[in-house]
Amino acid sequence: MRSARAPTAAQLATPPPPPSSTKGKFFGTTSIADSFRKQAAGSFGPEMSRKLSQLIKIEKSLERSLEGVSNERKMVAKQLSIWGADNDDDVSDVTDKIGVLLYEIGELEDQFIDKYDLYRITLKSVRNIEGSVQPSRDRKIKITDEIAHLKYKDPQSPKIAVLEQELVRAEAESLVAEAQLSNITREKLKAAFNYQFDSLRELSEKMALIAGYGKALLELLDDSPVTPGETRPAYDGYEASKQIIIDCENALSAWTLDNSYLKEPLLSIHQGIEDVYTVPEGIVEGEGEVVEGDDAEQEWAHHDDTVPVDHQVVA
């Protein structure tokens, strides 16, 4: 499925990101160095950015764990094919083809790590702006403390007026920095988790596709019992199994976020006309109601292809 493969529709719509920076490291996720890095991330650096720094380090460790899962998956696929080769023709063919599908899952997980890394890198930009805001906060606190100290020690000191002017400038700088932090935090947070959820959605739907074609392969196995000495009919599913793999490859290549199988969820909480989600039938825009019990089942009976998050609707 991987030899001389042309770019998929998803890759043409959204070019794949560069390989994750967490791949190919010598130390594993359980190494002492890795544990030290995660702990140190929350102990050093600007105080404002310590919590996010620790989150980013944990995410890096998670990516390395995912890489391990991807590699193990490929090893499982190869070993399944090796084991099946010594069995009857139908078992040998089906396990070989299932091994191809499992190996493809490992490849998809490997690609997922690269896309997931975009989420982690985007969070870094929030961490960096948090670190840049810390000095302005510290300066404002320091000047405020100096003014309070002088007013207690020498209320008539001419330095008080100078420091108060510096405090005004420091507060103005801090306001600009805080506003920038607020804006960037929201912008990057949405972008980061869009990367994560889109990559999760792609991986999940493609894995579901592979699972469906894998079950189709199982139908080629004749599992009817035979009596001792009875000969099982000759296996003639080679062309069918090959076509299943081709169909799976075509389905994976054609998949994009725009034509994905999962539709937008229908939320029971509706806030305004700008929402991207559909207003449930029977609910008036801007009004809320509580639906419980048997009435709730009737209310949602019209939505055959959706499942409400909650029966409670708030204005």
Domain with CATH 1.20.1270.60 in the chain: 9-225+235-258
**Angle, helices 89-153/159-218, rounded to nearest 10 degrees:** 170
Q: Could you give the CA distance from residue 292 to residue 286 in angstroms, rounded to a whole number?
A: 20
Q: What is the 3-state secondary structure (H, E, C) of the chain?
A: CCCCCCCCHHHHHCCCCCCCCCCCCCCCCCCHHHHHHHHHHCCCCCHHHHHHHHHHHHHHHHHHHHHHHHHHHHHHHHHHHHHHCCCCHHHHHHHHHHHHHHHHHHHHHHHHHHHHHHHHHHHHHHHHHHHHHHHHHHHHHHHHHHHHHHHHHCCCCCHHHHHHHHHHHHHHHHHHHHHHHHHHHHHHHHHHHHHHHHHHHHHHHHHHHHHHHHHHHHCCCCCCCCCCCCCCCCCCCHHHHHHHHHHHHHHHHHCCCCCCCCCCCCCCCCCCCCCCCCCCCCCCCCCCCECCHHHHHHHHCCCCCCCCCCCECCC
Phi, psi of 37 (to 5 degrees): -65, -40
Question: Residue 290 pairs with which residues in a beta bridge?
Answer: 312
Q: Quick check: 222 and 233 in contact, CB under 8 A? A: yes
The predicted structure's pLDDT at residue 270: 63
The predicted structure's pLDDT at residue 301: 42
Reported as half-sphere exposure (CB side, CA atoms, 13 A), residue 224 has a value of 6
The predicted structure's pLDDT at residue 235: 93
Q: Extract the tokens encoding 229.
A: 């000495």
Q: Could you give the CA distance from residue 184 to residue 193 in angstroms, rounded to a whole number?
A: 14
- Across the chain, which has 315 residues, the per-10-residue mean pLDDT values are 62 71 54 53 65 92 94 96 93 96 96 93 90 80 85 83 84 85 92 94 95 96 89 92 95 89 73 55 49 46 43 40
Q: Could you give the CA distance from residue 61 to residue 204 in angstroms, rounded to a whole number?
A: 21
Task: Tell the CATH topology of 9-225+235-258.
Answer: Substrate Binding Domain Of Dnak; Chain:A; Domain 2 (1.20.1270)
Cα 221 from chain centroid?
36
Q: Quick check: 265 and 310 in contact, CB under 8 A? A: no
Q: Extract the tokens encoding 8.
A: 């998929």
Q: Which of 114, 116, 103 is nearest to 19 (CA)?
A: 114
